[in-house]
Amino acid sequence: MHRILTLLFAIAASALLLAPASAGYPDHVVKIVVPFAPGGGTDVVARTLAQEMQKDLGATIIIENKPGAGTIIGTQSVAASPADGYTLLMGTFANAVNPSLYSKLPYDPHKDFVPVALIARSFNVVVVNPASSVKSIADLIAAAKADPEKLSYGTYGTGTSAHLAGELFKHLAGVNLTTVPYKGAVPAITDLLGGQIQVMFTTVASCASLVAAGQLRAIAVTSAERSAAFPQLPTVAEAGVPGYVAESWYGLFAPANTPPDLIERLNKSAGRVVQSDAFRKLSVNEGLVMVAAPPAELDRYFAGEEARWRKVIRDAGIKAE
């Protein structure tokens, strides 16, 4: 009898060891860390994702905003979390540029994380004051070459998408634009409206209503393809700067060593929910292209973005403030 009981316990223990990690998952709250303050584009996308995925997975999913140090604080908190599928990171453009902006990070962006899903890609819009004589990318290049010291563009700070999109433009178009950093989109756009700066490479959310009202003139989009949100606008590349692409993006990451079956479950859930009405609305309001690609695609995309911006940052001599 003792041998039989011992055998049964051994079989039961083996069954537990062989059981997939996703069995019963999730049985408590899942947390998505957003390394930005509430209210921004990343926060909106993350909250929409959490709202839809919790319905799909049948568990509560909350957002924890951990801003600071150019997303480093929030990102580090996820790197140090248990690899159990209950703490995830909403990664962005910043995660791809920080390794080039900072000489040392408290985490390894490749060794300390595993990709879950590329959720969406976005783009910036090149906008000018409607009183400006600049009506196209060709006009902008001509104006910059005619008077290299005259034109300036506004950014949201060092290493932001608005900053690096402008630096990439300067490099590929062979022009000079003076960089003017601001603490956010609102003060930068205020100065653009007032004529203190001449151009911005700004987000869809920050400019769409102003473009629609005729208060800003949009001349191009920074994406690889034309956008359904601005179908009349050419891409910067087709408007005269070959090879130009500057995208923002949103991707889910988990701590390294998170079980593959949990990653697969989360990826499939994300793939289903980006087809929801809530995300269709977001795609219009935020200018998003929904992707929900598998983990390998996020890994490939992230590596490509990291390499692209490493060259721009190095060539422009950009350092984190």
**If DSSP states are collapsed to H, E and C, what string results for 245-267?**
CCEEEEEEEEECCCCHHHHHHHH
pLDDT beyond 90 at 1:
no
pTM, whole model, 2 decimals?
Answer: 0.85
Q: Is the pLDDT of residue 19 over 70?
A: no
Residue 210 scores a pLDDT above 60? yes
**If you search the block for the tokens 């001449």, which residue do you land on?**
198
CATH of domain 26-121+248-316: 3.40.190.150
The pairing of strands 113-128 and 199-203 is: antiparallel
Distance from C-alpha of 311 to C-alpha of 168, rounded to nearest angstrom: 10
pLDDT digits 0-9 by tens, 88-142: 999 999 999 999 999 899 999 999 999 999 999 999 999 999 999 999 999 999 9
pLDDT bucket at 294, cuts 50 / 70 / 90: very high
Rounded distance between C-alpha atoms, residue 82 and residue 80, angstroms? 7
Q: What's the token pair of residue 28?
A: 């408590």
Q: CB neighbours of 66 closer than 8 A, spacing ≥ 6?
A: 33, 34, 35, 73, 74, 77
Q: Output the DSSP codes for 56-93.
A: HHTS-EEEEE---GGGHHHHHHHHTS-SSSSEEEEEEH
DSSP classification of residue 311: H
Query: Is pLDDT larger for residue 265 or for residue 148?
Result: 265
Say what the pLDDT of residue 282 is.
83
Q: Does the pLDDT value for residue 316 go beyond 90?
A: no
pLDDT in tens, 157-172: 888 889 999 999 999 9
CA distance 268 to 5: 40
Residue 153 near residue 177, CB atoms below 8 Å: yes
pLDDT tier at 17, thresholds 50, 70, 90: low
CATH topology identical between 26-121+248-316 and 123-221: yes
pLDDT at 91: 96
- Indicate if the pLDDT at residue 8 is higher than 50: yes
| Long-range contact set of residues 110-114: C-beta below 8 Å, sequence gap at least 24 | 111/256, 112/79, 112/255, 112/256, 113/78, 113/79, 113/89, 113/253, 113/254, 113/255, 113/256, 114/253, 114/254, 114/255, 114/256, 114/257, 114/258, 114/263, 114/295
Domain range 123-221, CATH class: alpha beta
Q: Which is more confidently placed, 3 or 97?
A: 97
Tens of pLDDT, residue by residue over 41-68, are 889 999 999 999 999 999 999 999 999 9
Q: Where are the domains of the chain?
A: 26-121+248-316, 123-221
Confidence of residue 15 (pLDDT cuts 50, 70, 90): very low
